[in-house]
Structure 1
Amino acid sequence: MSTMAETSPASVPSRRPLAQADPPIALGALDGRYRPAVAPLVEHLSEAALNRNRIHVEVEWFIHLCARQVLPGLSPLSSEQIEGLRRIVADFDAAAVAELAEIEAVTVHDVKAVEYFIGRRLADLGLEHLKPLVHFACTSEDINNLAYAVGVRDAVVGVWAPAAQELVGQIRNMAETSSQVSMLSRTHGQPATPTTLGKELAVFTHRLGRQLERVRATQFLGKINGATGTYAAHVSAAPTADWQDISRTFVEGLGLTWNPLTTQIESHDWQAELYADVARFNRILHNLCTDIWSYISIGFFRQVPVAGATGSSTMPHKVNPIRFENAEANLEISCSLLDTLGATLVTSRWQRDLTDSSSQRNIGTAFGHSLLAISNVAKGLDRLDVAEDVMAADLEVNWEVLGEAIQTVMRAEAIAGTAGMDDPYERLKELTRGHRVDKQRMQAFVAELGLSPEAEQRLAELTPATYTGLASTLVGHVRADKS
């Protein structure tokens, strides 16, 4: 038996460790290959953004406690002191990130490091004597839950939702411009009642728009009530203060919704609700991708080649639908993460466990893959031309789809008393099932039925291309949905 040493290539030179590269090489695709598409999320959902938001919460709590004068000796801060405290947040930069990391290396506790980071800066503001007020009566989760809520809210409202809305608008515009482009439907993969391209795109516009509205209606909850949600430390230090009102007004002052009943952690139910809605948006968008991919494969769309781009390393003729394939993969990854977050975050053993701590560090990744997919779909749609000639030719060789219209008219005629309209469905099934029927055979069949003159005229003028019912009119619903 050969050993590994005997079968290893002797000519492979020793390699320099990539992990030691400077600047560091990204492990994940979002921080490497796809960084430009997801960079806006770094401002809200990165580790640095989380720490900045923690500082923001701590600073505002400090200001709030002074304003409410919850302890003897406290008084409202001067405008200069408030501005100076808020500058700590505004000036949080790469040097501050490095300093905070140095403090955490000693504390081995991220939130405690934030407390010390702020404490170092109080002397310059004439507030050294109030250092004990930083993180007053707080457990780490009082700060963390609010920092995450602020970050997720700002990422959704400022980055993800606008990108999603722009894509929905792009699809809506395509629906409107192609509202009267007739197209053969395919149910179960088989020729079916014709529609219009615009109506089919309008369906996706409507579906995606509904999910986007659900996301926009999200309540971003927060709490600040101590180690087990009882205000025990607060009351012991200041028994006469109205701590529930102090908590509520503080949380609402951050632009969040106050949660009055929690354990040590805010229960994260709002996060699970939001992630379910975003995942549902993802899945509907995934459905659009598979449909567009399939329409490209049968020639209903032509892809506009990108100058200089290569579709295949060996087949020069190919223009691959890579934007939609890339989007499918990233939507699936995003949904997997969002589903896991939603399932994990709603459960905490008794009053606290740490499963949520590690889980929530993947929120940015979940949104990143969704945002990347949205970007790719938008770029893919922008490189499509509608092949109306291909769609028209497809309709012309599928006259059997008019069987539905003819047998339905025969039913109506039978109800009206026209003779000879027996067994309409069976008669059309015999005519059309299992083989093609051309224009001449279909029109001859109609002429032989003995329909009323008005009904016969209607069917004689009907073609697969005009058998689209109210499809073009239905697109008007997404015009009305515009926001």
Structure 2
Amino acid sequence: MAQTPSAPAASDSLYLEPTLLDSGRVSLAQAEPAVALGALDGRYRPAVAALVDHLSEAALNRNRVHVEVEWFIHLCENSVLPGLPTLSPEQASGLRQIVLDFDSAAIAELAQIEAVTVHDVKAVEYFIGRRLADLGLDDLKPLVHFACTSEDINNLAYAVGIRDAVLDVWVPAARALVEQISGMARESSEVPMLSRTHGQPATPTTLGKELAVFAHRLNRQIQRVQTTQFLGKINGATGTYAAHSVAAPDADWQQISRQFVESLGLTWNPLTTQIESHDWQAELYADVARFNRILHNLCTDVWSYISIGFFRQVPVAGATGSSTMPHKVNPIRFENAEANLEISCSLLDTLGATLVTSRWQRDLTDSSSQRNIGTAFGHSLLAISNVAKGLERLDVADDVMAADLEANWEVLGEAIQTVMRAEAIAGTPGMDDPYERLKELTRGHRVDSTRMQEFVADLGLSPAAHQRLSQLSPATYTGGAASLVSHLD
């Protein structure tokens, strides 16, 4: 998702004033309300808005406040420093209320502080410090951000935000889509359909079985995502608890760190440099990208089925399919999804490759990279939404599929030559060269039902084998396809 940056310092050369446009044109950069630069914060905002609470810049700052507040409370609860008072329930509640009250005014205040500090995490420290006097804690300002490097706060804030975005937003949307596909698979489990391998007519299947394959594949990736370990650390400038140990040598800082990280609902990483190594993020993004690519495969298959008439698209009242060809209903939902899945995968792949590397004990490549996490998930979520809407507007054209099957009797060649092999093993004479005989009959030729049945009748099969094959048609040659859909249950 596109992020809303904090207000920069006037001297920050990374932020440039909008240039004036040529005479007579109004600069859209000056428009009120602000015009979105990215599509996710523009035309597609409704589809991805739920991610703003977790992966926007404002959400990151709120989560930083959350981590700083909980660290403050944790230090007091564990009396890690001589003279630390025990917080009253009202004081602890008041500290947590800072997080609950984080709103547009708080966002603006933080931006004003950062314009002076030119440091986002330091701005959060000062933001919290301003509120301690009202809680009777003004003398404990030094405890805010105690023994922390910025990455102690950032890694935990990102982990909390990513976890909540994934488990509360992305996974439910992905699961709902998979259940939608599964429902379609169950409804069409017995609808016969000609397969195409290498684009050529092949052994028939059922539409439901093919949809079930995608539901099964997608569900496996969701299960992997749900088992992600969201790691965190709070151990100082190079991961050694050096400042902690000097300030409070008698405290068990590793245990304090572990308890704190786990109290946030994260998994403690005991061995890091200044940064948490982000390996878990790379693992997560690989799983989400794999989900994306499987969903992309579904889109291309459904698009192709639409193009040959296996699905009919239900027109939306008043909608325009083509600006010049009124007869068309374009499969735009699936095409839109393809594009967004590709963008999402590109970002996820880049994040996964970039975040696992940091020069020596720290560099800042991850800082810029991680600001694109919301964008990566936003494009995936948008694609999921489009696929769901596209599937809702499909009707199964079982008559078209039936006609396609009837026009391709040659696909029974596989069944006949396999039965001939079984007959040969059982001792039935005249079953020589079954593959070659079926190849001569079917390759490069269209074979109708009459010709196929004549061929079967002349083979000299056993009565039982002859009966099975004489009753077989492309529409009934689907094996156990229908029953395979039950594996979704």
Taking structure 1 as the reference length, the TM-score comes to 0.97
Query: Greater shift after overlay, 18-27 or 258-267?
Result: 18-27
Deviations 1:107-131, CA, capped at 9 Å, x for gaps: 0000000000000000000000100
Match of 1:382 among 361, 380, 392: 392
Kindly provide the amino acid, as one letter, of the partner of residue 106 in structure 1: V
Does 1:184 find its partner at 2:156? no
CA distance in structure 1 between the partners assigned to 2:24 and 2:446 by the alignment: 67
CA distance in structure 1 between the partners assigned to 2:373 and 2:406 by the alignment: 50
Residue aligning to 1:50: 60
Match of 2:34 among 20, 24, 49: 24
Residue aligning to 1:156: 166
Q: In structure 1, the residue corresponding to 2:201 is in which secondary structure? A: strand
Residue aligning to 1:354: 364
Deviations 1:385-429, CA, capped at 9 Å, x for gaps: 000000000000100000000000000000000000000000000
CA distance in structure 2 between the partners assigned to 1:301 and 1:190 by the alignment: 19
Match of 2:298 among 285, 288, 307: 288
Residue aligning to 1:135: 145
CA distance in structure 2 between the partners assigned to 1:323 and 1:435 by the alignment: 38
Match of 2:91 among 66, 81, 86: 81
Residue aligning to 1:260: 270
CA distance in structure 1 between the partners assigned to 2:444 and 2:460 by the alignment: 25
Report the CA distance between 1:435 and its aligned residue: 1.2
Residue aligning to 2:309: 299
Residue aligning to 2:9: none
Q: In structure 1, the residue corresponding to 2:275 is in which secondary structure? A: coil
| Structure 2: runs of 5+ lacking an equivalent | 1-21
CA distance in structure 2 between the partners assigned to 1:77 and 1:467 by the alignment: 74
Q: In structure 2, the residue corresponding to 1:395 is in which secondary structure? A: helix
CA distance in structure 1 between the partners assigned to 2:299 and 2:387 by the alignment: 7
CA distance in structure 2 between the partners assigned to 1:206 and 1:460 by the alignment: 35
Residue aligning to 1:205: 215
CA distance in structure 2 between the partners assigned to 1:278 and 1:75 by the alignment: 45
Mapped contact 1:272–1:345 kept (Cα < 8 A): yes
Kindly provide the amino acid, as one letter, of the partner of residue 72 in structure 1: P
| Structure 1: runs of 5+ lacking an equivalent | 1-11
CA distance in structure 1 between the partners assigned to 2:118 and 2:434 by the alignment: 79
Does 1:14 find its partner at 2:32? no
Q: In structure 2, the residue corresponding to 1:195 is in which secondary structure? A: strand
Residue aligning to 1:66: 76
Residue aligning to 1:328: 338
CA distance in structure 1 between the partners assigned to 2:85 and 2:257 by the alignment: 18
Residue aligning to 2:468: 458
CA distance in structure 1 between the partners assigned to 2:148 and 2:128 by the alignment: 15
Q: In structure 2, the residue corresponding to 1:475 is in which secondary structure? A: helix
CA distance in structure 2 between the partners assigned to 1:205 and 1:57 by the alignment: 38
Deviations 1:46-96, CA, capped at 9 Å, x for gaps: 000000000000000000000000001113211100110001000000000
Kindly provide the amino acid, as one letter, of the partner of residue 439 in structure 1: S
Q: In structure 1, the residue corresponding to 2:249 is in which secondary structure? A: coil
CA distance in structure 2 between the partners assigned to 1:427 and 1:13 by the alignment: 79
- Any runs of at least 4 consecutive aligned residues in structure 1 with deviations exceeding 6 A, and if so which? none
CA distance in structure 2 between the partners assigned to 1:188 and 1:59 by the alignment: 59
CA distance in structure 1 between the partners assigned to 2:350 and 2:445 by the alignment: 49
Mapped contact 1:331–1:370 kept (Cα < 8 A): yes
Does 1:227 find its partner at 2:250? no
Equivalenced residues, count: 468
Report the CA distance between 1:13 and its aligned residue: 6.4
Report the CA distance between 1:162 and its aligned residue: 0.1
Match of 1:166 among 161, 176, 198: 176
Kindly provide the amino acid, as one letter, of the partner of residue 53 in structure 1: N
Give runs of aligned pairs for residues 91-102 of structure 1, distance below 5 A: 91-102=101-112
CA distance in structure 1 between the partners assigned to 2:271 and 2:75 by the alignment: 21
CA distance in structure 1 between the partners assigned to 2:252 and 2:463 by the alignment: 83
Mapped contact 1:68–1:76 kept (Cα < 8 A): no
Deviations 1:106-160, CA, capped at 9 Å, x for gaps: 0000000000000000000000010000000000000000000000000001000
Kindly provide the amino acid, as one letter, of the partner of residue 238 in structure 2: T
Report the CA distance between 1:23 and its aligned residue: 1.3
Kindly provide the amino acid, as one letter, of the partner of residue 422 in structure 1: D
Kindly provide the amino acid, as one letter, of the partner of residue 399 in structure 1: W
Does 1:448 find its partner at 2:431? no
Kindly provide the amino acid, as one letter, of the partner of residue 393 in structure 2: R
Residue aligning to 2:17: none
Deviations 1:251-296, CA, capped at 9 Å, x for gaps: 0000000000000000000000000000000000000000000000
CA distance in structure 2 between the partners assigned to 1:366 and 1:13 by the alignment: 38
Residue aligning to 1:411: 421
CA distance in structure 1 between the partners assigned to 2:390 and 2:58 by the alignment: 33
CA distance in structure 2 between the partners assigned to 1:348 and 1:23 by the alignment: 39
Match of 2:408 among 386, 390, 398: 398
CA distance in structure 2 between the partners assigned to 1:478 and 1:431 by the alignment: 39
Kindly provide the amino acid, as one letter, of the partner of residue 199 in structure 1: K
Deviations 1:145-185, CA, capped at 9 Å, x for gaps: 00000000000010000000000000000000000000000
CA distance in structure 1 between the partners assigned to 2:278 and 2:423 by the alignment: 60
Report the CA distance between 1:445 and its aligned residue: 0.2
Residue aligning to 1:4: none
CA distance in structure 2 between the partners assigned to 1:313 and 1:157 by the alignment: 40
CA distance in structure 2 between the partners assigned to 1:22 and 1:74 by the alignment: 49
Kindly provide the amino acid, as one letter, of the partner of residue 62 in structure 1: F
Residue aligning to 1:9: none
Kindly provide the amino acid, as one letter, of the partner of residue 185 in structure 1: S
Kindly provide the amino acid, as one letter, of the partner of residue 58 in structure 1: E
Report the CA distance between 1:22 and its aligned residue: 1.3
CA distance in structure 2 between the partners assigned to 1:346 and 1:75 by the alignment: 40
Kindly provide the amino acid, as one letter, of the partner of residue 221 in structure 2: Q
Taking structure 2 as the reference length, the TM-score comes to 0.95
Kindly provide the amino acid, as one letter, of the partner of residue 48 in structure 2: V
CA distance in structure 2 between the partners assigned to 1:129 and 1:337 by the alignment: 45
